[in-house]
Structures are given as C-alpha cells and as structure tokens.
Chain A
Amino acid sequence: MRSRSAVLLVVPLVLLSFVALGQPKRGVKEADSAAKDSKADSAEAASSAQTPSAGDDLGPPPPAKPAGSAGPKPSPLNPEANEFADGGVQPPPVEYDKLLGDIAALRGRVSALTTTLFASKVRVVVETRGDNARISNFVVTLDDGVVFTSPDRFDAPDERVVYEHAVAPGHHTVGVDVERFDARNREYRTWQSSRFSVVIPESKLVDAHMIIQDGSDMGKDFPDDQDGEYDLRVRLRARVQN
C-alpha cells in the first residue's frame, strides 16, 4: 500500500518536472520574440517605404492593420493611406518671384523702347481653314522669340491679329509651330513647324498674313480602308501697307 502511494506521488512529480523543463525560459524567449517582432516591423516598414521594383509581381505587402482596433472592420476596398498625395509641394525658391518680376519688367521696358525707336512695324495675321481640323497648340515666333501662344483651343476662321509691334527694319524670321488633330478621330495628329524670312522696309508696316490650311482625310479614310492622306499647308503673304 505504501509502495503504491509512493509511486502515485512520484509519477506526478516526475511529470511536473518535465513540464517545467519543457517550458521556455521566459526572459530570454520574450526578448527573442520582441526582437523578431521589431525586425519584422522594421522590415515591413522598409518594404512599404521602398518603391516596388519592375520584377516584383504584386508590389510591397500591404501595411499591417492595427490589431484589436475599435469599431467596425473597414471595407477592404478602401484605399490605403500611402495611395494619397501628401500635399507636400515645396514653395518656390525665394529668388523665383524676384526673377520673374525682373524679367517681366525688363521685357516690358524693352518693348516700350522699341516702340519709340523703330518706325517699322510687323503685323502677323492668322487665318485657319479646314472643317475637320482642330488646333490644339499654336505658337508664333519672331526671330525665334515666342511672341504669341494660343489659349487652349485656337480657331481663326476669320482673320485674327496675333501680333503687332515695332521692329528694326531689315530681315526678320516669322515662324509658326502648330499642332493639329482630326475632329473625327483624335488619334490622327500632326505637328508642323514653318519659318519664313521677311524683309521689313524702313518706316513701313508689313502685314504678314498666314493661312493655316488642313485638308487631311486621315481621320475619316484611314480607319475605313487603310488609305488616307495628310494635306497640311501654311501659306504666308507679306504685304507692305502704304
């Protein structure tokens, strides 16, 4: 009887000792797991911060959700915070405003000076033709300095003066850069750059009448039968006004 009770006592003790031995060393393991967690967090933060590479299939893993947050679970279709712009545009450099002010003022007074000094003048008149052509970008240059940039859409079915100013008598280069697209099919676009040399006589006004013509049928014909034509013309007629 005694021996049986002794066995009954010893067996649980032995089992308990195994249990105690099998338990982890609390301090060390907790520190280990904390270190692992912090490593995982920092790795995750790093991966979320870095830009995904082209070879990466699905990009960086999604940012970790805070565990046990109160309230209803947000919809998985909600965008993540890092998908929004941070609105952190830098203000312009200090000298930006000053520089722009200086340049604009200088241009203004140079222009006023030439008005006084030169009796010769050039006037650039533009006329656009073509029912289906739309001009998306239109720039007029004089001696390769830009003197007119069109607003969003430029259209001048009737004659339209785009520049008139005093210039030195002699040779000048009038230029036009025009970008057009077909109203019937916007995929068909053209870019054209033309330069014309004109001579301005002393104390005279020269009327440079520019006709921008577009008789293209690419937007209509090419999609139908794979045969179309671009027909772009820029004509300039210079005439001294008496």
Chain B
Amino acid sequence: MKRALRRRLGFCACAVLSAHALAFAADATKAAAAPSPSASATDGAASGTSAPSASDAAAKPSDAPADSTDTRGSAMRTYQTALANQKLAPTIPLSVQRLRDDLGEIEEKLSSGRRDEAIADLVYLVESDRFEAFKDSEEGRACVFWLGDALARGGAFQPARGYLTRLLAGSPTDTWYRRAVHSLVDLALESDEGERVSKDLSGVPSSAPDEVTGDIAYLSGRLADRQSKPDDALAAYARVSEKSRFWAQATYLSGVIEVERKNYPKGEALFCKVADPKLTPKKAPLFGGMDFFRVRDLARLGLGRVAHEQYRFDDARYYYYLVPQDSDDLPEALYETATTRYEAKDYDGARRAIDDLNKLKVNHAYEDETYILDAYIDLATCHFPAADRKLDAFLKRYEPVRDAARKLTQDDAAVEKLSESVRTGSDAAAAGLGVPEETARTLGALVRIDADYGRAARRLAELDHQMRGLRSAMGELDQASQKLASPKAVRGQSDTPLGQSDLDKVERIESQIAELKRLIRDAERGGNGKRAEDLDALKKEISALEIRARAARAALPPPSAKAGKTGADLAGVISNDRARATALYNDAQTLRIAVEAESLGLAKDALVRLDRRLSRLLRRARLGRIETVLGKKRSLEMEVDALSQGLLPQTIIDSLDAARYLHDDEEFWPFEGEDWADEYVGGEGVR
C-alpha cells in the first residue's frame, strides 16, 4: 500500500496539477484530431517546377540560436522597407483610436479560435515602423501582449518569449506586465522552456504584487520538483501567497513532498489547509478559480490515503466521504473507501461503497480492480457462489480485453486511433480498432494515458498545425510573386484535379491500409483455424503494401519554388522567403518523424502497462476461483459436522419461511385477516 500511495500521489501531482496549463494548450492539441489536408494547390503549383537547391543563404531556416527570444521581427521590417520602396507601404497613420478598434476585432478573433488570423493582424501592426510611437501606450502594450500570448498558445515559444519579455520593462503593477508574467508562467509549466522562462522572469522585483511573485514562486517550485530538489521546492511553494492563483496547487504539492518524506502529520496539515474550508484562506478560492476545487478534491483524497497508510481506517473513510458527488474523483474515492473498509474487515461497509460505485454507471479507470475487490468481499463474507460468479464474469470480460491490448501494440495505426480517442474523450468503439465494441470501450476506459503522452501528442499537433499553415503561406508567396510579375493577372485554376495530388493519393493509400488491417482483425475475431491460414497470407500482403506506401511517402517531392530574383527589392525578399519556407517545410517533415515516433512509443507503453495490469488481475481472479472452491468445500464440511451433532443448517431452518422462495420482484403478504372462531368448521363432532 505504501508504494501505491506514493505512486498515486505522484500521479496526481503530474496529471492534475497541470490542468491549468493543459487548458492553455487545448487549441493546439485539438488540431491533432483534424484530418490531414491534401496539398493540391501548393503542390500543384510546385509540381511542375524544378526544385532549386536551398543552398542559398536566404534559404537557411533561421540564424536564431536554439535558445533565443528573437521575434524574427527584422524579416518583417525588411518587407516593410521593400514595400515602401515600391510605394506599397500603408500610408494611413496609426492612432490610438485605430489601435483600440483593431484590438477589439483581434480579441474577438482570438476568442472565436481564429488565432492565426489574429497573429497576422498583430504582426502587421507591431512590426510596423509606425508602431514605435505607440509601443508604450496602453493599446500598444496590449497589442504586444496579445501577439506574444497568441504565439505561445500556437507553440511558437521563442518569438512568444521575445514579445512577452518586452512588457517586463514596465511597472510590475501594470496590467500588461502582470498578464505577461501569467502567460510566461503558463508557457513554462506546459512546455520544456521552464528554465529559460525562469531566467526571463528573474528581473521581476520582489516588490511586485503577490499574484505576480506567487506565480514565479510556484514555477520555481515546480522546476525544483522536476529536478528532484524537494527542499528548494518546499521553500518556493511556501512563498506562494493566498492571492496567487496557484496557492492550492503549491500547498497540495508541499503536502505531497512531506508525505513522500514520511512526515505524515505535516503533510496532513498541509492537505487540510486546502481540504478544509475553515482552514483555507478566504481569498484563495477567489483567486484559484475552478482549478482550486479540483485541487481541493485531490487534497481530500490525499488525506484519505495518508490515513489509510497509517491504518486509521475510519479517518480515511471520512476523508474519502468529503469528495463531493459531482467531482471527477468520486469513483476513485469510492473505490478507495471500499479498499479501506475491506482492510478494516468492515465488509458491509466495503460492500456499500462498491454498490455506490456501481450505481454511478460511469466508465472509470478502476473498473477492472473494482470487479476483483467486489468478488473478494464476497469471498471474505463466505458468499462463495456469488464470488465465483463474479470472478468468472471478470475472466470472460477481461481476457479478450487483455488479448486485444496485446494485439493492438503490434499495429501502429490502431494504437494511434485508440490513444487519440482516449485523449479527446470520444467513443473508442467508433475508432475503428477492429475489436468488439464492448472490448474497445473497456480498453478506452482502462488505458491510463499519462501526462507525458499528452505533451508528446501536443508537440506533434503543434508541428502539424504549423506545417499546414506553412503550406498555405507557400501558396500565398507564390501568388504574391505572380502579382508582382504581372499585376493584372488573376490566379488560374490549379492543373491538378481536386484531391489528386501525390500527397492526397499517398494519404488515401495509407487510410485504405489501416482499414484493411481493421477488417483483418474483425475477420480474426470471427474466424476459425482454417480461415486463419488465409488471413496470414493476407497479412503478409498488407505488410508488403505498407512497405510500398512508406516508400511512396518517402519519394514524395518536397514542395519547392521556382528560382526567383534575389536582392533587397520586394520580389527578391519574397523569393528568399519562398526558398526559406521550402527549407523549413523539409526540416519540419524530418523532425515530425522523430516527434511522431516518440508519441507512438508512449501510447504503446500505455497499452503494455495495461496488459501487465490485466494479467495480474486475471491471475488474481483465477486464484480467487480456487479459493471459492476451497471455501465451498469447507462450508460443506462444517455443515456435515453440524448435522452430525444434531444441528440443522440455517438453509434448512429457513426453508419453512415462505418469503425465502420469492424472487426479487415478488412480495409476500402474510394473512392479516381476523380469525372468527365461531365460523370454524370441520372440527364438529370430532372427538
């Protein structure tokens, strides 16, 4: 139990406390579920052209070092100069009122998910020479903040840091200063940029408002925690004030560290500060928002686990009981209540908790373990037939799930589909896994996708999103070049029919192969031995097709551009950027392979761990069935012993009770009428 306790607390620490930051990156993650676009237009425009080498100095992706806060604004200013030279630069002067009007539209775009458009509008404003006069105004700082924040949400951390740190030159009491710190801290918690952001924030004075210093202290604590420096982490968490949105998280994590050190009273006191409304500072829920209440539920679970660890079973039950009915953690609380009562030998209490859990009728991550515990409670209360029935049902239900988990680890496409379905919360039965619907749903409920997978998937999603946008940008650059070459020309229809580019075709082939694999899994499920031989031959054919599809994808020509002018004029700048875009796209494709492999590896790991868990539980179920047989035998022996001593077993005594023979949906109404002695007939004349 000790190991389980520490592990579980650790799990909570990483999975739930990043909830705020997870919301921060939700947009980028969602993009992963989007179907891949084809590239007919950009590819079509490029397909007939010879690919120039990207050896030009301008085609180098960037000269910015790996750790940089360069906003890449100089490239935009080159455009501005080139446009001005051709008298194409905007001539209408900027004004505070115009900035204010534009900001309204930009904020509306950001709130409706049109982030890329908002970034473009903001770059247009902020990287203009005309903006210099307004950069320190309220509206100017707002523009810089929204640009940095939007870039950070899109995964472009380097330029985001560049814009956000600009705002740190002002007063710490300024709204945009504070918002920039919040945004940077969110970025650091969610990304791997923690150390760098921490350096960026080192200039924030200690006299800054509590909410600002609290954010920074919390970030320091999390970083120290990641580096396994618990003392530093505790010191940092202690600096988070109640006016910080992270007060509950910091206090809870301090409790986790104390518990890990086996300093239970201190850990418990810290958990209590969050869990008990009387001990919580009044302002903490106000500043903490919705996350505060999620952490409060966790703190109550933590208290229960600490009490359980110390064999204070009644206290543990009380703490678990405090988790509210509408909490996401309720199934966990009920399951652990049942475990606690079982260990306390209060089998009725354990039974009630299990019944409450089953009444929720929700899929949860403890479904399988609940089954086993339920049966073991029956075993403990000598209800051997019921225990046997439950264990048998468990074996019938979960053996196919375990087998399916093993099979799916061999199929990358299926693993991806399942992981995405679990991560996005969609129905796993509709993911096309090629396993029975019920098995797919059970798999979806049991696979415990950890925060690491979420981070890896988010990286992939961000990269995909930017690559799709880059395709669009390449098309726009081609159009811009064409416009400069012949201003009156209009864009012609693409030579390639819609959806018929090489990339489209390869993507269709890959989806067909994935579908074929699903059909084979379907056939295997319903097939007999003879058909399995035919399926083996089919599988070999599909493997060969997969290799060919991979080769076709590798042979796809990279999107390329015509060799254009070079130089400082607009056409030259556009041509340089087009070559740069091509080089970036090729680099991104190479990087994507590595990022995808990592994400897939983590998804497979989740399935392998599920296999291990189910195998353990299946072994436990089989042992339990042996115990039910032994129990039945022992109860028979006792019954025989009792009979030999003249004692009738309870089952025989109760056989005279009419209510015993009723089903659950029947009711026994004993005769309650009056007994009229004078109407009694049948006894007259009997002597």
**Chain A: residues with CB nearer than 8 A to chain B?**
51-54, 58-60, 62, 74-85, 87-118, 136-137, 139, 141-152, 160-165, 167-173, 175, 177, 179, 181, 186-187, 189, 191, 193, 195, 197, 200, 202
Other-chain residue from A58, A152, A161 in contact with B615 (beta carbon distance below 8 A): A58
Residues of A within 8 A of B11 (CB): 84
Contacts of A100 in B (CB 8 A): 155-158, 462-463, 466
Contacts of A141 in B (CB 8 A): 37
A116 in contact with B373 given A83-B613, A87-B452 (CB within 8 Å): no
Q: Which of B62, B369, B483, B498 is close to A117, meaning CB atoms less than 8 Å apart?
A: B483
Q: Is residue B90 contacting chain A, with contact meaning CB distance below 8 A?
A: yes
Check A110/B89 contact, CB under 8 A, given A76-B620, A137-B34, A141-B37: no
Q: Tell whether, in the assembled complex, residue B612 and residue A59 are in contact, meaning their CB atoms are under 8 Å apart.
A: yes
Contact of B612 among A80, A117, A187, A193 (CB under 8 A): A80
Q: Which of chain B's residues have a CB closer than 8 A to the CB of A177?
A: 34-35, 37
Please name the residue on chain B nearest to A118 by beta carbon: B483
Q: Are B473 and A151 in contact (CB under 8 A)?
A: no
Closest 9 CB pairs of A and B: A145-B472, A170-B491, A111-B120, A59-B615, A104-B156, A105-B72, A170-B490, A101-B158, A89-B452
Minimal beta-carbon separation of A105 from chain B (angstroms): 3
- On whether the beta carbons of B156 and A105 are closer than 8 Å, the reply is yes
- The reply to whether A62 and B574 form a contact with Cβ atoms under 8 Å apart is no
Please tell me the number of chain B residues within 8 Å of chain A, measured between CB atoms.
132
A161–B114 alpha-carbon span in the complex (Å)? 9
Interface check B318, CB cutoff 8 A: no
Bound-state CA distance A181–B421 (Å) is: 14
Contacting pair B34 A111 (CB below 8 A): no
Whether B491 pairs with A169 at a CB distance below 8 angstroms is: yes
Q: B14 on the interface (CB 8 Å rule)?
A: yes
Q: Which residues of A contact B34 (CB under 8 A)?
A: 137, 139, 146, 149, 177
Say yes or no: is B523 at the interface (Cβ < 8 Å to chain A): no
A163 to B116, CA, bound (A): 10
CB neighbours of B96 from chain A (8 A): none
B588 touches A103 (CB 8 A): yes
Knowing A59-B612, A84-B7 are in contact, say whether A112-B491 is a contact too (CB < 8 A).
Answer: no
* Given A91-B192, A95-B587, A101-B159: A112 in contact with B615 (beta carbons within 8 A): no
Asked if B41 and A162 sit within 8 Å, CB to CB, the answer is: no
Per-residue 0/1 for B144-180: is the Cβ within 8 Å of any A Cβ (1 yes, 0 no)? 0000000100111111000000000000000000000
Q: Distance in Å from the Cβ of B623 to the closest Cβ of chain A?
A: 8
Q: Nearest Cβ in chain A — how far from B450, in angstroms?
A: 4
Assembly CA distance A57 to B407 (angstroms)? 13
Most buried by B among A84, A88, A179, A191: A84
Interface string of B360-387 (1 = CB under 8 A from A): 0000000001001100100000000000
CB of B469 within 8 Å of the partner chain: yes
Q: Does B643 count as interface, using CB distance less than 8 angstroms?
A: no
> For the complex, is B75 an interface residue (Cβ under 8 Å from A)?
yes
Task: Tell whether A58 pairs with B613 under 8 Å between CB atoms, given A96-B591, A189-B430.
Answer: no
A94 touching B66 by the CB < 8 A rule? yes
Q: Is A97 a contact of B66 with CB atoms below 8 Å? A: yes
Question: Would you call B609 and A102 a contact (CB within 8 A)?
Answer: no
B480 sits at the interface (CB 8 A): yes
Name which residue of chain B comes closest to A188, CB basis: B430
The answer on a CB contact under 8 Å between B473 and A107 is yes
| Alpha-carbon gap, A146 to B37, bound state (A) | 7
Tell me the nearest residue of chain B to A201, going by C-beta: B490
> Could you list 15 examples of A-B contacts with CB < 8 Å?
A59-B402, A79-B4, A89-B455, A92-B192, A98-B61, A101-B159, A107-B470, A109-B123, A110-B581, A113-B79, A117-B88, A144-B471, A149-B113, A171-B490, A171-B493
Q: A163-B114, A168-B482 are in contact. List 11 more A-B contacts (CB 8 A).
A: A59-B612, A77-B620, A85-B606, A107-B469, A109-B127, A110-B577, A145-B42, A149-B27, A160-B112, A170-B491, A186-B430
Among the listed B343, B450, B577, B618, which residue makes an inter-chain contact with A87, where contact means beta carbons less than 8 Å apart?
B450
Q: Report which of B124, B472, B620 forms a contact with A146, defined as CB distance below 8 A.
A: B472
Asked if residues B615 and A52 are in contact (CB atoms below 8 Å), the reply is yes
Give the CA-CA distance A167 to B472 in the complex, in Å: 11
Interface string of B454-467 (1 = CB under 8 A from A): 01100100110111
- Bound CA span A193–B33, Å: 15
Which B-chain residue is minimally distant from A98 (CB atoms)? B66
- Assess A80 versus B616: contact at CB under 8 Å? Given A111-B476, A151-B30: yes
Contact A102 B72 (CB under 8 A): yes
**Which partner residue on chain B sits nearest A139 by CB separation?**
B34
* Chain-A contact segment, one of B230-238, B594-602, B633-641, B662-670: B594-602
Q: Which of chain B's residues 573-624 have a Cβ closer than 8 Å to chain A? A: 574, 577, 580-581, 584, 587-588, 591, 594-595, 598, 602, 605-606, 608-609, 611-613, 615-616, 618-620
How far apart sit A59 and B513, CA to CA, in the bound complex (Å)? Answer: 30
The verdict on A105 contacting B75 (CB below 8 Å), with A81-B3, A171-B492 known, is: yes
Q: B residues within 8 A CB of A76?
A: 620
Contact (A195, B498) CB under 8 Å given A58-B618, A117-B483 = yes
* Contacting pair B602 A89 (CB below 8 A): yes
A109–B158 touching, CB < 8 Å:
no
Q: Do A171 and B491 touch across chains, with their CB atoms under 8 A apart?
A: yes
Q: Does B39 contact A (CB under 8 A)?
A: yes
Contact status B79-A109, CB under 8 Å: yes
**Contact present for B465 and A149 (CB under 8 Å):** yes
Q: Would A97 and B598 count as touching, CB distance under 8 A? A: no
One of B1, B64, B122 near A102 (C-beta < 8 A): B64
Residue B525 at the chain A interface, CB threshold 8 Å: no
Known: A114-B480, A145-B475. A101 touches B1 (CB 8 A): no
Query: Which of A53, A97, A189 has most B Cβ within 10 Å?
Result: A97
In the complex formed, the residue of A with least CB distance to B429 is A187
Contact of A83 among B88, B429, B609 (CB under 8 A): B609
Point out the residues of chain B lying under 8 angstroms from A79, CB to CB: 4, 7, 613, 616
Q: Which residues of B contact A105 (CB under 8 A)?
A: 71-72, 75-76, 123, 156, 159
Bound CA–CA A83/B613 (angstroms): 6
Q: Are A144 and B157 in contact (CB under 8 A)?
A: no
Distance of A1 Cα from B72 Cα, bound (Å): 116
B409 at interface by CB-CB < 8 Å: yes
Complex contact A75–B90 (CB within 8 A)? no
Q: Given known contacts A74-B1, A79-B616, is B26 in contact with A151 (CB within 8 Å)?
A: yes
Q: Given A75-B1, A112-B120, A137-B33, do A168 and B113 touch, yes or no (CB 8 Å)?
A: no
Find chain A residues with CB under 8 A from B406 CB.
52-54
